[in-house]
Structure 1
Amino acid sequence: MAAVHSKLASFENALKYIHLISHFDVVHRSQDKMYFVTKTEAPFDILAADSFCGQFGGYLAEIDDEEEYKFIVNFLWKVGGHAFMTGGYDINREKHWVYWRSGKPVEYLRWSESNPDNYRGVEDCMEISLSRGGFNDVDCKSSKKFLCEK
């Protein structure tokens, strides 16, 4: 009976994964992390995006160091696109970047040239911009793909 329950649990996990890849491109990292990025762009809403990541056991990406950043950028180049929203924002206090889920300060900051610039006073969310070569602050309502981690 235990073997049947084990096989059923494996099958249920596989079904969750199949549902996940219908919405996201997915990659695993050696440190037991998984990253997934939406397959299509849509108007970004940080609360809704984080909730959507949460349906699959994840949250908007929180990039902790150079190694993680390089791994993610390599994945994003393979996925295709030019910019991907993360969980970083400074909505509550300008230039005080924190992560949506954890509330931790963003300590690893790899800003692209001339950023953050808070263009027109409305750029409070953080994206990874492949074309700019680093993080960029953008309007939180931009149409973008978004990056989750689990």
Structure 2
Amino acid sequence: MKISLGYLYLLLLWAFGSAATPIGTGSQAAVLENRTSANFTAIGDKLYYIEETLRVNWFRASNICRQLGGFLVNLASKEELQALSRQLHPARSYWLSLYDLAEPGVYASQANGRDAQFLSWSAGQPDNIGGVEHCIELWLSGSTFQMNDAQCEMPFHFVCESD
């Protein structure tokens, strides 16, 4: 049985969960030490935490969200994207919960394991440049935030969601 490297990462993320790594070490710890579930803000009918200081890879962002009691944001609609976008910095990119690590071209949510219920791709995306873009970021494309596939190891800001 052949297992892709991306799928192996996902299995490790699931297996070790938030206990795998502490919320931060070194300079990351200083940035994150005051982050708690109290830092979540209501936008529409959901609670979000928008990380504007720290840039981390998709796996680390997922772990941080879980340690804060949430998960990487799982956008459900165009209306939710628009409401959240008003709170995002236009010069920054943000990790979402979506990935296609298990099956290329099939986007699922790390938050619930289900296929993506909402996608809003930037023009020409997803393009999986070099066959290594398997995690989804939200970036400003033109005048609106839209989705782009990117290498999971890239450092971006992130958005957590909580129930």
**Where do 4+ consecutive residues of structure 1 move more than 3 Å?**
none
Equivalent residue in structure 2 for 1:19, among 12, 23, 34: 34
SS in 2 for 1:76: coil
SS in 2 for 1:93: coil
Contact kept? 1:36, 1:149, Cα under 8 Å: yes
Shift of 1:92: 1.1
Matched, 1:28 2:38: no
- Correspondence for 1:75: 87
Q: Distance in 2 between matches of 1:68 and 1:57?
A: 20
Q: Distance in 2 between matches of 1:128 and 1:110?
A: 9
Using the TM superposition, name which of 36-45 and 65-74 deviates more. 36-45
Matched, 1:142 2:157: no
Report the structure number with the largest CA radius of gyration: 1
Give structure 2 stretches of 5+ with no counterpart. 1-32
Q: How many residues are treated as equivalent by the alignment? A: 126
Q: Distance in 1 between matches of 2:117 and 2:58?
A: 23
Matched, 1:42 2:55: yes
Structure with greater helix share of residues:
1
Once the two structures are superposed, what CA deviation does each residue of 1:37-71 show, in whole Å capped at 9, x if it has no partner?
A: 2122433042x322211222111100001111111
SS in 1 for 2:88: helix
Give structure 1 stretches of 5+ with no counterpart. 1-17
Equivalent residue in structure 1 for 2:115, among 105, 108, 118: 105
Once the two structures are superposed, what CA deviation does each residue of 1:6-44 show, in whole Å capped at 9, x if it has no partner?
A: xxxxxxxxxxxx9327xx7x531242x211121224330
What is the TM-score of this pair, normalised by structure 2? 0.70
Overall identity of the aligned pairs, in %:
27
Q: Distance in 2 between matches of 1:38 and 1:128?
A: 13
